[in-house]
A and B are shown apart, each in its own frame.
Chain A
């Protein structure tokens, strides 16, 4: 199908530049002209009385009731194609589109900020300072909600800036909807024949539609592909002409949600029977797709009285860590084990792995960990000893629950109730014993300066335990103390690691999670390693600008400490001295001032804090700020790990 060229370019490039020059001259005249004094006075006075009331036109614009005016001979269209693109995003429930501006999607951006009532909502344009951060925001949002967020990328350069984050979201099987603008006629270096080709090997699906109608359908399909297991980022390339063309009577196509395939009825019967016949069944719960999956896992466990394991301390969408059934249970001799996106002794329901997408690796990059037989990027890790059914666990749960209800008898119900009570008592005892052991370990270095990482997590917990919180930053590099001290009871309590171990993740992922949190009354905790923040600190500005509920506590150990240890180890085995391992692995001389960094980006903060006795009060101040909707950063000078 040939590309639609319904719109002509009545203004040539030269004409455009001439027009731009005229506009610039006009702007200069404004600032030097009679209104200049009024503008300056308004800007410096700051008093509301100094501002003139909005004109009727401004009111209409703010209400989102404005269409481009119809003026014969002018270029503006009445219903730009990008308005329909935004309508598709709105219908899909896309809350946010993050990007930094580029000359290939100004049509789309204008529609996001001006189209609809109210404008700039669903999606709201989120100003990112780097495409890598924009995509990682979508990554964090996706893990916090199970839904895609949109990132908008500019041409070849934006796609390449975003590439690492796209790879990481792909490896992490997180849905994200990426839209890349393409303008073949403006800056040649920013366009390409096959824009998505640069990242095809690590996106789940892409399209470069040739008409507006195809574009609308492609966005819908990209959304569906992103949320269908294996979930992942998808990319639609949107030509600037399609964004700007007159849509005329073209309508947004009806959306059809994807059908998630689960197990069939006979398999469900078999699994339900296995769980109900067992004297001591167990359900191993890995990472499901959405909060609904986690909820269904709880339903099933409660229905059959099975004790469970969880991956809630490793990432999102798993079983509540402190649910009475979560733990080893009254007996660790299990006679039937069902795995939900986790390996199990009897039956494992494991959604399709990334290896099923390897045909898209046309560049033959051959990513480690994605190849068949490597479970890391597949589903939950580890090897299942029993039968594995390669099918989405979440989509299978309703049928298993239905079958279990059907096979339930009063006798079974009595046994299950008794067993569940025994499990609850045993799990509670195990939890308290584990906690006491953990606290005994965490007290090491309690009063030390620099401050121990255990103290940060321990001090934080009583302050947030009654809040609806998300720990969005990976905690592995800061000791992982949350896994023992905190209760990860919600599908989004802990968002887990980076995905592919790429740095520059913690802060932007936390910003993405905070976008989700803001509209849901939650707060985000970001225990931020210093090395990681320095990849993309501009997201602090994004958090401040959009007033996101994010508390950042710096794990400021002034080094990439894991790598410092790697280098020290090599120094040791090669016997050439051990006093130069800091070269290239430390962040000192000069030390970085993170409070000043936050201030520079417009974020409130304090520190550096070296006295552990001052930590608690600082955390309280930070949380108070975050609950007011203002992000806050506390620079804490910490022990290495």
Chain B
């Protein structure tokens, strides 16, 4: 029962976070105010790459080119980082961690945002990747036992 309560709490917090973010996201986007160079150092030292890739292009949540509301504005991003708290997670989690002010002050959070906003996708369109063409060609061949 206790675990279930905790899981429900996590779900409630996550829901709240996603409810808050769109409201803030409605404000006109302003350019990042942080320092992307410092943000890069934070991205690496806080091992953000573990989930988002070293270039923001891979991983569980791709950041490059993301239209997520949590990345729409600096304030939405900072709010999102602060809203992830779950003080007693029942199980190991690979979810996005919480970053309190004590862990990541606002200035650093803004630096991080500035760096994340530099990510761009360098991936070519799918139809320009020759290997993908080969994979599609193979898939169209009849099944052979």
Q: What residues make up the interface of A, taking CB atoms closer than 8 Å to B?
A: 298, 320, 322-324, 431-432, 435-436, 439-440, 442-450, 452-454, 458-459, 461-462, 465, 485, 487, 489, 559, 561-562, 564-566, 568-579, 581-582, 616, 639-641
Contact between chains at B129 and A446 (CB < 8 Å)? yes
Contacts of B103 in A (CB 8 A): 571-572, 575-578
Would you mind naming 29 contact pairs between A and B with Cβ atoms under 8 Å apart? A320-B145, A323-B145, A432-B139, A436-B126, A439-B129, A439-B132, A444-B62, A445-B57, A447-B122, A462-B138, A485-B135, A565-B50, A565-B94, A566-B92, A569-B94, A573-B85, A573-B86, A573-B89, A575-B98, A575-B102, A578-B97, A579-B46, A639-B53, A639-B58, A639-B59, A640-B49, A640-B58, A641-B51, A641-B58
Closest residue on chain A to residue B46 by CB atoms = A578
Contact between chains at B123 and A444 (CB < 8 Å)? yes
Contact between chains at B126 and A440 (CB < 8 Å)? yes
Which of B47, B86, B125 is in CB contact (< 8 Å) with A582?
B47
Would A569 and B92 be within 8 Å (CB), given that A432-B140, A439-B136 are in contact? yes
The docked-state distance in angstroms from the alpha carbon of A331 to that of B123 is: 36
The docked-state distance in angstroms from the alpha carbon of A569 to that of B48 is: 11
Contacts of B139 in A (CB 8 A): 431-432, 435, 487
Contact between chains at A640 and B59 (CB < 8 Å)? yes
Contacts of B54 in A (CB 8 A): 448, 450, 639-640
Q: Which of B115-133 contact A (CB under 8 A)?
A: 121-126, 129, 131-132
Quick one: CB contact mask for B42-69 with A, threshold 8 Å, 1 for yes? 1001110111011101111010100000
Contact between chains at A640 and B51 (CB < 8 Å)? yes
Given A435-B136, A564-B50, A576-B102, 18 additional A-B pairs, CB 8 A? A440-B126, A442-B132, A445-B53, A450-B54, A454-B58, A559-B50, A568-B47, A569-B92, A569-B93, A572-B85, A572-B97, A573-B88, A573-B89, A577-B102, A582-B47, A639-B49, A641-B50, A641-B58
A-B contact count (CB 8 A): 160
Contact between chains at A566 and B93 (CB < 8 Å)? yes
Contacts of A452 in B (CB 8 A): 53, 57-58
Instruction: Give the contact-size bracket for chain B.
Output: 35 or more
The docked-state distance in angstroms from the alpha carbon of A303 to that of B54 is: 51
Contact between chains at B126 and A439 (CB < 8 Å)? yes
The docked-state distance in angstroms from the alpha carbon of A359 to that of B47 is: 46
Contact between chains at A439 and B86 (CB < 8 Å)? no
Contact between chains at B89 and A461 (CB < 8 Å)? no
Contacts of A432 in B (CB 8 A): 136, 139-140
Closest residue on chain A to residue B139 by CB atoms = A435
Contact between chains at A565 and B51 (CB < 8 Å)? yes
The docked-state distance in angstroms from the alpha carbon of A324 to that of B145 is: 10
